[in-house]
Amino acid sequence: MVNITLLLWISVLLQVAAVIMALRLIPLTKKALAWSLLSFAFFLMASRRTLDLLLGENLIDDPFIHTLSTRLVALIISLLLLLGIILIKRIFVQQQRDADQIKKLSLVIEQSPSASVIFTPEAIIEYANPKYCEINHTSVSQLIGQTPLFLSSEQTPLSTLNKIWNKIKIGGVWKSELCETDAHGKHNWSRVIISPIKDAKDVITSYIATFEDITIEKQQRLTIKELSLHDALTQLPNKNYFNQSLQLAIKDAGCKSQQLSVLLLDINNFKEINNTLGHLTGDVILREISNRLNYVASQNANHSLARMGGDEFLLFTTDTTPEQTLDLANQLKLAIQHPLYVENRNFELSVNIGYASFPEHAKTANELIKCADVAMYAAKASSHSIVAYQSNLDDGKLKRLELSSHFRQAAEENEFILYYQPQMDFSDKKIIGAEALIRWLHPEYGMIPPDDFIQLAEQSGHIYMITEWVIANGLAQLSQWHKEGHKIELSINISATDIQNPELVSLLETELIRNKLEPDFITLEITENSLMLYNKQTISALIRIAELGINISIDDFGTGYSSLQYLTKMPVSHIKIDKSFVMKMLDNDQDAIIVRSTIDMAHNLGLTITAEGIEDEETLEILEILRCDHAQGYHLAKPMNNQVFLSWLSHYNSRL
Ligand code: C2E
Ligand code: CA
Ligand code: CA
């Protein structure tokens, strides 16, 4: 009997231990409490059973204990059991609810049309949905434990990886376009959003990346780009493409200390063929010429041939001496002169070729092409059909005449057009103004960008004629905008020689009055370099312009000689930091430092500052942090003609 009693007491002790264990599950959760209540109930049941036995054996004979054990303890046990059971039921219901919710959420991700991946802070994939597996031709089991594909793809540059990590590790959301290499080695482009997932204590536990497949869209963009870089008639690269490859070749030649030559070919009397035999015959002849030129050029190892437009072709050769270039020019000339048989007729064509070399004649693509152009005009004017560039050719009387007739005609026949690029105020994100940027809509060559003719106009003394046109048309347009309720400002580019022109101030005054404009809505942009040439005359002209109430801004700031002297001497109110610094500031610390210190310096001098050349959201955000005043760049909008500009403006304003 003693043994049974002992066993019963041991059981009581075990129950007590269970209660203590349950209570030790701190923090005291509902679960722990439920188990404690049940354990306590069992403990009391066991104690009561023990007492029963002890009483039965007459080991205890106390009526009080008996009453307590039969009534009170039974009641307490029932209560404890009831409470414990209710609590457990609640826990199960809650758990079921949580499980249902998780199931629903995981179904959303599982069946989402966007590809999604969840990865740990150590960049290890924990989960990938079926869409992600489908796009990348892989399976969940192959992905789990691996690094996300976009992080390991050689298509994602190291600098981009750094940017991603720097942003997401501090809890930021990263959005951009990324390329992944799938299991078949194919490149997939996606619009990606990576966001951190945080726990209740705000600690990042993992990241979710969602991908929208834009591979087809990207291919279409590439095709459009490809088309815009090729001439449809001859399938040769066009001038844009030529320019881009020439820039790269110049860089390369500079590094290797090699020479490089640009040749410009112009077929004689081609217009007459077009006019007398029709454009279709002209096209056949142009295609044949391009085949011949291509053949000759391909015999020379390092070359690139392009059609510049009309009957002009461009070619550059790398690693060539001037003698080899002359030899090549002769071969090209012979190829064109060789009789051509088209539509039962024999044609004998002739050509003029001008060429210029790097680094001897010029150091940039545009300048080299311009030098080759000058040489080609000299060839036309002389009895030699091949001419190498010489600096004194620039003064050639014939070329000046040729150009002047072009510019005059362009202004007279309204072949110029103004494009407008918006400028935003960082403080309220409103559009405060636009920069007027000229283009030449040439009847034969199409849209000519200002970089291709402004310098020529400056050199040939025709720039003021263009400036007059820009001021008259720009101010008339601004007045029209104001009448339509767009109270914005207009910036106009002015060349160095314009400021020296005694008529500029009175022209501005007349146009202000004619268009009933407040002068404060107009800014003249003058490049830093042209201000370097300042003299008394320039300063007094600028002071008179400022006295009219017109603002003066220094354009392309940072590309000049960085003398602060003129900033304090000139009536300048505004600075535009050159786009070359802004465009590279994310990748180049030196440029970022220049941008930051220029902003600080401008503010210290009480000037406002515009950053131009902003091409992405990140640069825009950083410039705002650096307290830049105004923003301009492709990210906001490219320069647009008046009609497109106005609808862009309405759309922008409606979203504010
Ligand atoms: P700019 O005064 O520095 O004008 C800004 C140039 O940068 C414009 O080129 C504009 O299209 C381009 N740009 C603007 N945002 C971005 C960007 O985010 N990225 C990049 N890569 N470029 C951007 P555009 O229109 O070809 O003009 C070139 C230059 O021609 C102007 O440089 C200016 O010096 C000159 N120019 C334009 N119009 C006139 C004019 O009416 N008179 C005079 N004298 N010069 C003009
Ligand atoms: Ca400008
Ligand atoms: Ca500029």
Same domain, 135 and 104: no
Domain boundary among 159, 186, 219: 219
| Contact 422 CB / ligand 1 (< 6 Å) | no
Whether 507 and 527 share a structural domain: yes
**Are 582 and 501 in the same domain?**
yes
On whether both 466 and 389 belong to a single domain, the answer is: no
Residues 41 and 141 in one domain: no
How many domains are contained in the chain? 4
CA distance 460 to 374: 12
Same domain, 14 and 101: yes
Q: Do 447 and 589 fall into the same domain?
A: yes
Question: What is the reported pLDDT for 22?
Answer: 61
C-alpha 55 to ligand 3 mean position (Å)? 105
Residue 368 is predicted with a pLDDT of 93
Question: What pLDDT does residue 401 have?
Answer: 47
Tell whether ligand 1 has an atom less than 6 A from the beta carbon of residue 498.
Answer: no
Domain ranges, residue 148: 112-219
Please give the order of strands across the beta sheet that includes 204-213.
Answer: 125-128, 115-119, 204-213, 187-198, 174-181
Residue 239 sits in a domain whose CATH number is 3.30.70.270
Cα three-residue angle 282-389-312, rounded to 5 degrees: 10
Pocket test for ligand 1, best of 437, 499, 527 (most atoms within 8 A of CB): 437
For 592-648, the DSSP string reads: HHHHHHHHHHHHHTT-EEEE----SHHHHHHHHHTT--EE-STTT---B-HHHHHHH
Helix (H) or strand (E) holding 120: none
Per-residue CA distances from 160 to 22, 179, 624, 634 (Å): 52, 11, 21, 21
Same domain, 215 and 276: no
| Domain termination residue (choose one: 77, 108, 139) | 108
DSSP 486-530: ---EEEEEE-HHHHH-TTHHHHHHHHHHHTT--GGGEEEEEEHHH
Ligand 1 pocket, 579 CB below 6 A? yes
357 shares its domain with 414: no
In a domain, 157, yes or no: yes
First CA to last CA distance, the chain: 91
Report yes or no on 211 lying in a domain.
Answer: yes
Ligand nearest to the CA of 423: 1
pLDDT for 68 equals 67
541 is a domain residue = yes
Residue 224 lies in a domain: no
Is any atom of ligand 1 closer than 6 Å to the C-beta of 571?
A: no
User: Which residues of the chain, if any, have pLDDT below 50?
Assistant: 1, 396-401
Q: For ligand 1, say whether the CB of 555 is within 6 Å of any of its atoms.
A: yes
- Tell me whether residue 496 is in a domain: yes
Q: How far is the CA of 525 from the centre of ligand 2 (A)?
A: 6
Last-in-domain residue among 58, 93, 108:
108
Claim to verify: residue 426 and residue 395 sit in the same structural domain: no
Q: Are residues 88 and 176 in the same domain?
A: no
Q: How far is the CA of 609 from the centre of ligand 1 (A)?
A: 17
Q: 318 in a domain, yes or no?
A: yes
| Atom 21, ligand 1: residue with shortest CA distance | 613
Does a structural domain hold residue 225?
no
pLDDT tens figures, 386-430 = 999 988 776 544 444 455 567 878 888 889 999 999 999 999 999
Ligand 1: does its nearest atom lie under 6 Å from the Cβ of 620?
A: no
Q: Which ligand ends up closest to the CA of 528? A: 3
Are 159 and 284 in a shared domain? no
- Domain of 130, CATH number, reads 3.30.450.20
Q: Which ligand is nearest to the CA of 576?
A: 3
The pTM of the full predicted model, rounded to 2 decimals, is: 0.49
**182 close to 164: Cβ distance less than 8 angstroms:** no
Distance, CA of 214 to CA of 218 (rounded, Å): 6
